[in-house]
Chains A and B, each alone.
Chain A
Amino acid sequence: MELQIALLLGQDGITNGAIYALLALALVLVFAVTRVIFIPQGEFVAFGALTLASLQAGKLPGTVWLLLCLGAAIAVLESLRAARERCFRQIPLILLINCAAPLLLAGVLVAFSPATLPLPVQVLLALMLVVPLGPMIYRLAYQPVADLTVLALLIVSVAVHVTLVGIGLLFFGAEGSRTPAFTDASFEIGDTVLQGQTILVLVASALLIVALYLFFERTIYGKALRATAMNRTGARLMGISGTLAGQLSFTLAAAIGALSGILISPLTTIYYDSGFLIGLKGFVGAIIGGLASYPVAAAGAVLVGLLESYSSFWASAFKEVIVFTLIIPVLLWRSLKTRHVEAE
């Protein structure tokens, strides 16, 4: 293999690996805090990318309707709860957050034609549409069953995943979309051309990872999440609400997913069901980190990206086989290394 090819493959692998790393971090975060294996993580990638694409095409993205429906469902549930607890004063606030805010956002989308807005505003709008879906899904699907076993929560995840994929097909159609590049800049280093978009993905991923680190180390909410991850009961005794921790981690996971989608959509075509495979590769990374260690998970995800890139050169027909077979030696090594702890 020539050096130039090796470099190009490496560049490609690291770019994809950076996206997988972000998803791996989100998966570890959600699992550590809520014990949920978050299979629908990939759907946020697809929803983020496709929402941005439909905004740019001047269409009203279907995610608006999802947001309105989920908001209305939560408003009904929460209002009933408040009425049962005779806390009638909570109801206006519940309606404001879950119904008025999504309606306002939908109104903004209809009033201003998003296709003509500058790109950063479009990205912001897409995030505002997709990220709230995270905590909303937590509220509707996971919060009522938050105390069940890991296996039961996994089954809920599968159900949520299948539902979201179906909704994605309904909203965005079977054909994929590709958004225009954020930057057309490219740099020549020796014989190889480095695309501006690639650098953007790497820088954005690095910044996000640093931001996450600071969030967990320096802020009270970040510390609360870490405390919940370490000892759920202990954290609750210290006054940290498990519900709040769950919603916060799902918000972060949704934000990371949607941002990854927006970053990757100029590099490749995203389909309504693309997210699953991307999320699954992030999951392999997260498994390497034992669903517990952030740095190992990120490094594992980059390894997955590199492995994928080089195996697509050597044996393209077996690429996925090679990537997913990686999980077997890792699981063997982990099970030999760690002592067996009885599941809760």
Chain B
Amino acid sequence: MKIQGSMARLLALLAASFAATVHADINVGVTLSATGPAASLGIPEKNSVALLPTTIAGQKINYIVLDDASDTTTAVKNIRKLVTENKVDVVVGSTITPNSLAMIDVAAEAETPMIAMAAAARIIEPMDAKRHWVFKTPQNDAQMATAIVQHMSNQNVKTVAFIGFADAYGEGWWNEFSKIAEARKIQIVGNERFNRADTSVTGQVLKILAAKPDAVLIGGAGTPAALPQKSLKEKGYKGVIYQTHGVANADFLRICGKDCEGTFLPAGPVLVAAQLPDGNPVKKAALEYVNKYEAAYGKGSVSTFGAHAWDAARLLTNAIPEALKKAQPGTREFRKALRDALEGTKNLSAAHGVFNMTASDHLGFDQRARVMVKIEGGNWKLVP
């Protein structure tokens, strides 16, 4: 026992001297949903990670990318592996809300800052001892829902029906949207659900049509959200159709085709980066991302989801030099300093908006992080 103890001490001493002589790299652990139901969000994120800077402030950055298959258990397994085996200084991920929520405990326990790329406000609210370590880059659902409701009142919409995914995404939107719409005196006349893999939504659409709403909000993500819209048009619906920012990729336009003309949706400004006015602080950062991504993966390949990963790296690029002043990478002190530096982010322009973090707000976006977009001629068009 005694011999073992002294051996361990010796080893620790050796390791410590090793760390002191060789400058340690910064390890960034990434877990995202590149396969499974959320693959259409996770794949562009994974592609974006490949474009991230490999040195920050003269330090080499190692990205360790794991796939959690859109599965909560795997996400937790991944973050455990990242913090124990790879000894990462920060974790980026995961793509979807359930995974990110489950990862919070591990991040807090290991005292490792974590930057989530999932939307729900619950990931960073209410602020507590655990969420102290957690940040996120995508806009809150509430922020996007407010934009929709605002637009609806401006368009004089009195009645609205909702059809959303029968999962966390649809439920989340329903909760936020119904709350805000009620406050704004917009009457909700329908609330329907459908599944991502459904082959038909005729029943739901007929029920919505029977209620004769002025507008319909479709709370779905990616190409599956095109199905209710196509059915509504096929059955002759003439009102305004709203989608959520979950549909903002080129595949949605390809699938939906002419049935999506005139659809409104809120989105991160990166979606229409080139159309932003020159004075907009987001424009430069967003265009930089779009150009980099399209140079690597082809024209028209960019989507807003990958930009969340890009923005996570923007936060790190900004925070790491601060943290390096206080401690060496690979240590508990460095992780703590990095967390403090992230929380101190001020006026940082990124692809999706301008970050202004505080101790109670670990997202820090204002209304500059969202724009209303209209689908026109098979393209996204900024609504001024």
Known: A176-B255, A269-B226. A312 touches B200 (CB 8 A): yes
A296 to chain B, nearest CB (A): 23
Binds B, one of A4-12, A82-90, A287-295: A4-12
Tell yes or no: B121 within 8 A of A by CB. Answer: no
Tell yes or no: A316 within 8 A of B by CB. Answer: yes
A78 to chain B, nearest CB (A): 33
B199 touches A312 (CB 8 A): no
B40 touches A267 (CB 8 A): no
What residues of chain A have their CB less than 8 Å away from a CB belonging to chain B?
Answer: 2, 5, 8-9, 12, 15-16, 19, 166, 169, 173-178, 264, 267-269, 271, 273-274, 276-278, 308-314, 316-317, 319-320
**In the complex, which residues of chain B have a beta carbon less than 8 angstroms from the beta carbon of A312?**
194, 198, 200-204
Residue of A nearest to B42 (CB): A174
Tell yes or no: B329 within 8 A of A by CB. Answer: no
A166-B35, A316-B194 known, 10 other contacts, Cβ within 8 Å? A9-B202, A9-B206, A271-B197, A271-B224, A312-B200, A312-B204, A316-B166, A316-B192, A316-B207, A320-B195
- Interchain CB contact (< 8 A) of B203 among A9, A19, A269, A278: A9
B164 to chain A, nearest CB (A): 10
What residues of chain B have their CB less than 8 Å away from a CB belonging to chain A?
Answer: 35, 37, 39-40, 42-43, 163, 166, 192-204, 206-207, 210, 222-224, 226-227, 249, 251, 255
B306 to chain A, nearest CB (A): 13
A316 touches B255 (CB 8 A): no
A174 touches B43 (CB 8 A): yes
A16 touches B203 (CB 8 A): no
- Interchain CB contact (< 8 A) of B199 among A2, A169, A174, A264: A264
A169 to B37, CA, bound (A): 10
A268 touches B202 (CB 8 A): no
B227 touches A268 (CB 8 A): yes
A314 to B203, CA, bound (A): 8
A270 to B21, CA, bound (A): 56
A174 to B41, CA, bound (A): 9
- Interchain CB contact (< 8 A) of B35 among A16, A169, A316: A169
A311 touches B35 (CB 8 A): no
Give 3 closest A-B pairs by Cβ, nearest first. Answer: A312-B203, A313-B203, A174-B39
B197 touches A277 (CB 8 A): yes
**In the complex, which residues of chain B have a beta carbon less than 8 angstroms from the beta carbon of A173?**
40, 43
B202 touches A8 (CB 8 A): yes
B200 touches A267 (CB 8 A): yes
B235 to chain A, nearest CB (A): 8
B194 touches A274 (CB 8 A): no
- Interchain CB contact (< 8 A) of B202 among A166, A264, A309, A314: A309
**In the complex, which residues of chain A have a beta carbon less than 8 angstroms from the beta carbon of B203?**
9, 12, 309-314, 316, 319
A86 to B226, CA, bound (A): 59
A28 to chain B, nearest CB (A): 21
B224 touches A313 (CB 8 A): no
A271 to B199, CA, bound (A): 10
Residue of B nearest to A170 (CB): B35
B195 touches A319 (CB 8 A): yes
Known: A175-B255, A269-B223, A320-B195. A309 touches B200 (CB 8 A): yes
A264 to chain B, nearest CB (A): 6
B39 to chain A, nearest CB (A): 4
A199 to chain B, nearest CB (A): 16
**In the complex, which residues of chain B have a beta carbon less than 8 angstroms from the beta carbon of A12?**
200, 202-203
A64 to chain B, nearest CB (A): 22
B202 touches A169 (CB 8 A): no
- Interchain CB contact (< 8 A) of A267 among B166, B196, B199: B199
B204 touches A316 (CB 8 A): yes
A278 to B222, CA, bound (A): 20
Known: A175-B222, A176-B224, A176-B255. A316 touches B193 (CB 8 A): yes
Residue of A nearest to B235 (CB): A8
A12 to B43, CA, bound (A): 34
Known: A268-B199, A268-B200, A312-B201. A177 touches B255 (CB 8 A): yes
Q: List 24 A-B contacts (CB under 8 A).
A: A169-B35, A173-B40, A174-B40, A175-B223, A175-B249, A264-B199, A267-B200, A268-B199, A268-B227, A271-B223, A271-B224, A274-B199, A277-B195, A278-B199, A309-B203, A312-B200, A313-B203, A313-B204, A313-B207, A316-B194, A316-B204, A317-B166, A319-B195, A320-B166
A42 to chain B, nearest CB (A): 10
Residue of B nearest to A281 (CB): B199
A73 to B255, CA, bound (A): 36
Known: A8-B206, A269-B255, A320-B195. A176 touches B200 (CB 8 A): no
Residue of B nearest to A180 (CB): B257
Most chain B CB atoms below 10 A, which of A5, A19, A166:
A5
Residue of A nearest to B37 (CB): A273
B213 to chain A, nearest CB (A): 15
A273 to chain B, nearest CB (A): 7
Residue of B nearest to A278 (CB): B199
**In the complex, which residues of chain A have a beta carbon less than 8 angstroms from the beta carbon of B39?**
169, 174
**In the complex, which residues of chain A have a beta carbon less than 8 angstroms from the beta carbon of B226?**
269
Residue of B nearest to A277 (CB): B197
B193 touches A317 (CB 8 A): yes
A19 to B201, CA, bound (A): 16
Residue of B nearest to A175 (CB): B251
B221 to chain A, nearest CB (A): 11
A73 to B37, CA, bound (A): 30
B360 to chain A, nearest CB (A): 35
**In the complex, which residues of chain B have a beta carbon less than 8 angstroms from the beta carbon of A268?**
198-200, 227
